[in-house]
Chains A and B, each alone.
Chain A
């Protein structure tokens, strides 16, 4: 199908874009990579009366390290750039390692970092990474801006803390703590498809290989990216042995995720998958943490 008619503007500066959003509010939609919005418009699931094309905001396309050592990424940075940029590989290895699971190169060439986060699809990889790594997100409106944490940003199914007149402009990723291993694993029917279940994990080693900190976040098993803090608690203080992994995986898969059935999988299958993938992810993360330690 074809999109319904709309008015189109392509502002050359952030101020102009924010002014249009301020004036039109809910009737206007930001067009970033268009890789989620345009399919919805083609199906007429979305019929915005005005599109604010932000692809000319070249100064929102950047990757740099701030003085505090945070990695800063502009919202209009293409997803494809994240897998090619050496700064991302060095400072945000979980993000770098996860981006290739987002759709296909043809989609990532257009799709943006900001668009993926703002779209807040619980089946998407980047929101999971944002929650796992504690991203901070910068939201601008005409005349002011605010920072929110990833935890406060994702509020529901395709729903974020963004107000209609706001734009996500930048994300900040804290440095990875030392002796920390990461992993992302997912199961999709074909490479590049939305996954049935996926999980990102971090483990930090302390003295004598004892786990000091852990984080597990799942995709496609709830209305938002789903964190599993109780599973993480089981890991903290443990020596990250196989029994510890099994206990944490069972806790997360049984009590902390909320997968519905879909045409490809029953709820039980998804819980089973979550359990298996969690153990795989934890093994990888432990290995990386040990390497980071030596």
Chain B
């Protein structure tokens, strides 16, 4: 890309705690930036118009659709993706552990987005009811599980996070 092209922009942002700087086209979606520029392929792209939730990441700590944000808008902001959850290669975050134990995923396509939606939800609502969880899940589509095991996993994660003092 031509450096003097007004559509090519330098973006400096923080992703999973690390500062990154890239030259990008203004039309590059944040989802594609994470996947193609940074190789963070845990952020999935299902519908690219905000409906499925697979691309959900944290933008300054709040869950948002990365397919409805341009990479250049991440300038000076902090992004967290599903790759930031596990503390190490051999250890899972409690919410991941709960999905593992309760069979909260089958193909896993929706899972990254669901985890990045449920984590801030549980931080804000440490003792949700099943109804609260279903309500909070309504912006994420899963084609495999029928949701029941996801709900079970989130309730289990809530219990694990409470006994953990809320930290992973």
Question: In the complex, are the beta carbons of A106 and B27 less than 8 A apart?
Answer: no
- B138-A191 in contact (CB<8A): yes
CA separation between A109 and B116, bound complex, in Å? 14
B29 touches A2 (CB 8 A): yes
| CB closest chain-B residue, reference A51 | B26
Q: Which residues of A contact B59 (CB under 8 A)?
A: 109-110
Q: How many A-B residue pairs have CB under 8 A?
A: 89
Q: List chain B residues, Cβ under 8 A from A109.
A: 59, 62-64
Chain A nearest CB from B66 CB (Å) reads 10
- State the main secondary structure of chain A at its contact with B: loop
Query: Of A43, A104, A106, which contacts B49 at CB under 8 A?
Result: A43
B9–A8 CB distance below 8 A? yes
| B135:A191 contact, CB within 8 angstroms | yes
Contact across chains for A105 and B139 when beta carbons are under 8 A apart: yes
Query: What is the chain B residue whose CB lies nearest that of A43?
Result: B49
| Those of A22-60 within 8 Å (CB) of chain B | 31, 34-35, 38-39, 41-43, 51, 53, 55
Interface presence of B65 (CB below 8 A)? yes
Query: CA A5 – CA B49 in complex, angstroms?
Result: 18
Contact with B along A3-19 (1 / 0, CB 8 A): 11111101000000000
Contact: A38 with B138, CB < 8 Å? no
A80 an interface residue at 8 Å Cβ cutoff?
Answer: yes
Does B46 lie at the interface of the complex (its beta carbon under 8 Å from any beta carbon of A)?
Answer: no
Known: A4-B27, A103-B139. A39 touches B50 (CB 8 A): yes
B65: nearest residue on chain A (CB-CB)? A106
- Taking a contact as CB atoms under 8 Å apart, the answer to whether A38 and B63 are in contact is no
Q: From DSSP, what is the main secondary structure of chain B's interface residues?
A: mixed
A-contact bits for B69-113, CB 8 A (1 contact / 0 none): 110110100000000000000000000000000000000000000
In the complex, B13 has a CB within 8 A of chain A: no
Smallest Cβ-Cβ distance to A39: which chain B residue: B49
Contact partner, B68, options A5, A34, A105, A192, Cβ 8 Å:
A34
In the complex the two chains form, is A106's CB within 8 Å of B64's CB? yes
Contacts of B135 in A (CB 8 A): 191
The docked-state distance in angstroms from the alpha carbon of A5 to that of B24 is 12
Question: How many Å from the CB of A8 to the closest CB on chain B?
Answer: 4
| B-chain residues with CB within 8 Å of residue A106 when the two chains form the complex | 53, 56, 63-65, 117, 139
On whether A8 and B68 interact (CB within 8 A), knowing A109-B62, A191-B138, the answer reads no
| B67 and A42 contact, CB distance less than 8 A | yes
CA distance A238 to B63 in the complex (A): 47
CB-CB under 8 A from B26, the residues of chain A are: 5-8, 51
Least Cβ–Cβ distance between A23 and chain B, in angstroms: 14
Measured CA separation A190–B147 after assembly (Å): 14
- 0/1 string, B29-42, CB within 8 A of A gives 1: 10010000000000
The docked-state distance in angstroms from the alpha carbon of A34 to that of B139 is 17
Evaluate whether A6 and B50 lie within 8 angstroms (CB atoms) in the complex, with A38-B69, A104-B139, A106-B64 already known: no
**A107 B73 Cβ-Cβ under 8 A:** no
Decide yes or no whether A263 CB sits under 8 A from chain B: no
Are A110 and B69 in contact (CB-based, < 8 A)? yes
CA distance A110 to B138 in the complex (A): 17
B7 at the A/B interface (Cβ < 8 Å)? yes
- Are B6 and A38 closer than 8 Å at their CB atoms? no
Contact A55 B73 (CB under 8 A): yes
Q: Is there contact, CB below 8 Å, between B49 and A105?
A: no
Find the B residue at minimum CB distance from A37. B68
Would you list the 8 A-B pairs with minimal beta carbon distance, nearest first? A104-B139, A8-B26, A39-B49, A38-B68, A109-B62, A3-B27, A191-B138, A106-B63
Q: Contact residues of B with A, CB < 8 Å?
A: 6-7, 9, 25-27, 29, 32, 48-50, 53, 56, 59, 62-65, 67-70, 72-73, 75, 117, 121, 135-136, 138-139
- Show 22 A/B contacts (Cβ-Cβ < 8 Å), sorted by A: A2-B27, A4-B27, A5-B7, A5-B27, A7-B7, A8-B70, A10-B75, A34-B68, A38-B68, A38-B70, A42-B48, A53-B70, A104-B138, A105-B139, A106-B53, A106-B56, A106-B64, A106-B139, A109-B63, A110-B64, A110-B68, A110-B69
